[in-house]
Chains A and B, each alone.
Chain A
Amino acid sequence: MRKRYPLLAGVAAIAVLALSACAPEAPPAATSTSTAKAGTDTLNIATTTDVVNYNPLVGNSRSDYWVSNLMYPHLLSMNEDGDRIPEVATDWGYVDETTGFYEIRDDMKWSDGEPLTAEDVAYTLNATKKDKPAGTLYGQLANMDSAEAVSKTRVEMKLSKPDASIVEGIGFWGNIVPQHVFEKAGSVAEFANDGSDGGWVSAGPFVLTKVQVGQSYTMDRVEDYPIVKGGTPIPAKVVYRVYPDVNAEILALQSGAVDAIANALPPAQVEQLKNTAGIKVEESTGLGYAHMTYNMDNPDLAKVEVRQALAHAADYDAIRKVVLQGQAVSTGSSPLMEVHGDYYDKSIKEYDFDVDKSRSLMEKAGYTADANGNFPVSFRLIYSLQDSVTSQWVQLVKDSAAKAGITIELQGTERNTYLAMTNAGDYDIYAGNFAIMEDPVTNMVLSYLPGGAINYTHVDDPELNDLINTASTSADEKERVKLMREAAQIVHEKVYDNIMYSQQLYFAHSDKWTGFVSKPSELLSIVNPVSLASASKTAK
């Protein structure tokens, strides 16, 4: 056999040698530093993707966000009702129309002993503005000129024009990075922050200490984390384990290989896991919505009656019951959701599913149905094939539109093609969802102003523009609420957007762990820093 298969023997030998190179060396014996309150347990969490980038100013994937969040704190967080709450900032607001400020805590430290000061905050904002990294924070800085640490605990930002959302937007989305580490790297847009020059530093509850690419990310407790009750995180370690296949991920939870799953459960798995012994399922409010937008560059879709006809030709209730298995709520077809508090307008009602009304609107728009009852229009609807939920409901939309005599051709593509087509406006109807639409004014600016990054309808309505522009510069919260409600009415009436539902999110963990603090959205959910720092093993 040896004579006949030198190739096989060679391959096997190479494989064994390669493996030997991966064998880890035992670390030196650790000395325990756990305090009385802090435990010695390891919390294992499943995620579906690897960490792509350790630089929070660049990283964009969910795993990037979850791991970065445990090391690089935000100025603001969010409570379960969707309100902004303090994290590193204790107070925030505006000095005048073009100056924003944050007052920050004076008891925060990086894990290497350096204090976290207003200088770090100002550096983060100025470096991001200058180097334009690809992450979310840079998008929030459009109207910021510069930031300055006016004391150890106060940062002031000069704005290029009045912007009522910028202080909370930056506070919520921006991670603070350590100036003494990032500054040495030059451009923050190109800094990998991969720990290759002596590891990571953290001002969060945990610090990354070991990376096994494709397998796990181990984070050790930072003893001094004043944001959590008691001042010290309870788990000794948090380990993110990568299971790219969601079914394997759930099997891992059931077998005890992991204690929690970071990503939201697919709707079809929720009921089964709720009824599985040893598993607890937590509900969290969604901060986003699924929607369809009608491209007004298409002459047919430029007619409001056609858009209204399409809006009345979808059975929203059936979609929520069948596809979402009841795990979604109506927003009244409005971009303002209940989680937006005062902005939410109960008087805006969801488009009713009414095929006759839809037909009559098409006739009003000047179309005549043929002998088979079909109108001479056909619309191409794009969606991402990677989005399994949307892939299901677009089929229902197509079928119900056909009953109203409107032809919809479905064009599902892989995600990158879908994004490119969306960016190029290469569609009649766009179907998709936004994960987090937490600030009504910012959302309206991006979604409905001409040139807005996500203005997929290509709408340019002077009345709507005026309302949104006024709201975006108004410092008066009550006025902003009033203006946004009026704007939402217009969006609804003229169908500049068709919000299908807001999905409730469900997260699973082992009943051997308790104390998680659930927050809205998949990004925060039960894996936000305070939640993981507060989690402990149940006493049995």
Chain B
Amino acid sequence: MSIALFVLRRLGRGVFTIWFAVTVTFLLLRLLPGDPALAVASPNMTEETRAALLTQYGLDQPLIIQYFIYLGRLVTGDLGTSFTQSIPVVDVLLQRLPWTLVLTASALVLTVLLGIPLGVLAASRRGKAMDRFVQILGVTGQSLFVPSVGIALLLLFGLWLRWLPIGGAYDDAVYGVAWYGSVLQHLLLPALSLTLIQLGSYVLTVRATLIDALGDDYVTLAKANGLSPRRILWKHALRNALLPATTLIGLQLGFLVGGAVLTETVFAYPGIGRGIYEAVTQLDFPVLQGAFLLLAVTVVVANMLTDIVYGFLDPRVKTA
């Protein structure tokens, strides 16, 4: 199969997945118990006010009509208007998206930068104390709860040591280079928190796949040919072991966004995860639909890129 056809097929799958996600999101939101008018207005409102609000939101139409109106607008790039804020959903999302991108990208990079050496360390010392230590760290990491880790980090670095700020994404009244410094300072704790939560599974995956790779015939051959253990480990075995780990990165993006909701809440970080939580409490359907669409596109694109990268890393994939 040619590379062009391979990429086209992945693109087609991506578009289908996004349409499916959009449809499921639309229907699921309308199945939620509760009434958007009640979530927005005072409980003392009259039935007349409620009816007026539902008309204003377009929720007085039959579900199928609402769906096609929504799809029709979507293809023209119109994500609708927020029920509660009365501003376009695109504006709501764009205000928050950059911060979530920064947070999740930092956590992803940190996870890989820490995860690969730790996984290699454990696999190359299989059964020894270092391996056990890394495994314990990995399992512990998987069982950590974001709010507990977050508050512990804030208490230690924010209140007791006073090294890092408590909450927000940057300080007021700082500009230019100082602003970037402030962003980095505010980013450290939430990114570290998110990294700690997902590092465990990544380290354990790298370790397990590397141990498998180290038992393969080509490794035995490399040893017989006199290659140094370091070269065998880093140049040959790790390259093959990283294929499943690369897939895991794509999959973890979805997990990262889920983790971002809690992380952004604890660290008062102004990202889209918190926006989703607030929109859920207010049953703000247009914002939720827009946010989930955005997330679906992000995850699909990330997975598509992972697939394509995978195709380059492993030629067998393209012809499969």
- Please give the residue numbers on chain A whose beta carbons come within 8 Å of chain B beta carbons, in ascending order: 4-8, 10-12, 14-16, 18-19, 21-26, 49-50, 52-53, 55, 58, 60, 132, 134-136, 138-139, 142, 189-192, 194, 212-216, 218, 239, 241-245, 247-248, 251-252, 254-255, 257, 413, 415-417, 419-423, 446, 453-454
Contacts and interface: CB of A to CB of B under 8 A. Distances in A.
A214 B271 contact: yes
Interface string B92-110: 0001111101101110110
Contacts of A212: 169, 270
A453 B97 contact: no
A248 B267 contact: yes
B167 A248 contact: yes
B211 interface: no
A19 B104 CA distance: 13
Contacts of A12: 105-106, 109
Interface string B65-97: 000000000000000000011110000000111
Contacts of B102: 15-16, 18-19
A215 B108 CA distance: 23
Contact of B45 (A6, A139, A245, A247): A139
Nearest to A211: B95
28 contacts: A5-B112, A11-B104, A11-B109, A19-B183, A22-B98, A23-B175, A50-B278, A52-B282, A60-B41, A132-B49, A134-B41, A134-B42, A135-B42, A194-B86, A212-B169, A213-B96, A216-B168, A239-B172, A242-B270, A245-B266, A248-B151, A248-B166, A257-B166, A257-B167, A415-B281, A417-B34, A419-B39, A420-B35
Contact of A252 (B166, B271, B305): B166
Given A8-B108, A248-B154, A257-B167, A18 B98 contact: yes
B159 A214 contact: no
A237 to B, nearest CB: 9
Q: What 10 pairs between A and B have smallest CB-CB spacing?
A: A214-B270, A416-B34, A15-B105, A18-B98, A192-B86, A134-B41, A26-B175, A417-B33, A213-B95, A453-B44
Interface residues of B, number: 80
A413 B33 CA distance: 10
B147 interface: yes
A257 B165 contact: yes
B53 interface: yes
B249 A416 contact: no
A255 B35 contact: no
B176 A26 contact: yes
B268 A245 contact: yes
Nearest to A189: B56
A492 B84 CA distance: 39
A323 to B, nearest CB: 22
Nearest to B98: A18
Contacts of A49: 278
Interface string B125-161: 0000000000000000000000100110011001100
Contact of A423 (B38, B167, B175): B38
A419 B35 contact: yes
Interface string B163-193: 0011111001001100110010000000000
Contacts of B283: 416
A448 to B, nearest CB: 14
Contacts of A138: 45, 49
Contacts of B246: 4, 7
B32 interface: yes
Contact of B105 (A4, A11, A60, A136): A11
B32 A416 contact: yes
Contacts of B52: 132, 189
A247 B158 contact: no
B305 A10 contact: yes
B164 to A, nearest CB: 10
A60 B46 CA distance: 16
Given A50-B278, A416-B283, A241 B168 contact: yes
Contacts of B41: 60, 134-135
B269 interface: yes
Contacts of B106: 12, 15
A116 B176 CA distance: 41
B40 A60 contact: yes
Nearest to B160: A255
A418 to B, nearest CB: 9
B34 A252 contact: no
B306 interface: yes
Q: Is the interface of B mostly helix, strand, loop or mixed?
A: helix
B215 interface: no
Contacts of A50: 278
A25 B173 CA distance: 10
Contacts of B101: 11, 14-15, 18-19
Contacts of A239: 172
Nearest to A14: B101
Contacts of A55: 86
A454 B42 CA distance: 11
B18 interface: no
Nearest to A13: B105
Nearest to B284: A52
A6 B95 contact: no
Contact of A214 (B99, B112, B162): B99
A189 B242 CA distance: 56
B42 A132 contact: no
A447 B39 CA distance: 20
Contact of A247 (B35, B46, B87, B151): B151
Given A215-B169, A243-B167, A248-B167, A60 B96 contact: no
A507 B222 CA distance: 70
Contacts of A242: 167, 268, 270
B43 interface: yes
Contact of A244 (B84, B159, B162, B265): B265
A147 B97 CA distance: 45
A502 to B, nearest CB: 19
A140 B271 CA distance: 37
Interface string B205-249: 000000000000000000000000000000000010010001001
B271 A218 contact: no
A24 B34 contact: no
B266 A248 contact: yes
B172 A416 contact: no
B43 to A, nearest CB: 6
A18 B175 contact: no
A477 B102 CA distance: 61
Residue in A60, A251, A416 whose Cβ sees the most chain B Cβ within 10 Å: A416
A476 B174 CA distance: 60
Contact of A190 (B45, B86, B150): B86
A7 B249 contact: yes
A244 B268 contact: yes
Given A4-B313, A7-B249, A416-B33, A215 B155 contact: no
A255 B164 CA distance: 11
A251 B109 contact: no
Contacts of B46: 139, 142, 453
Contacts of B266: 244-245, 248
Contact of B86 (A53, A216, A255, A446): A53
Given A213-B96, A416-B38, A254 B305 contact: no
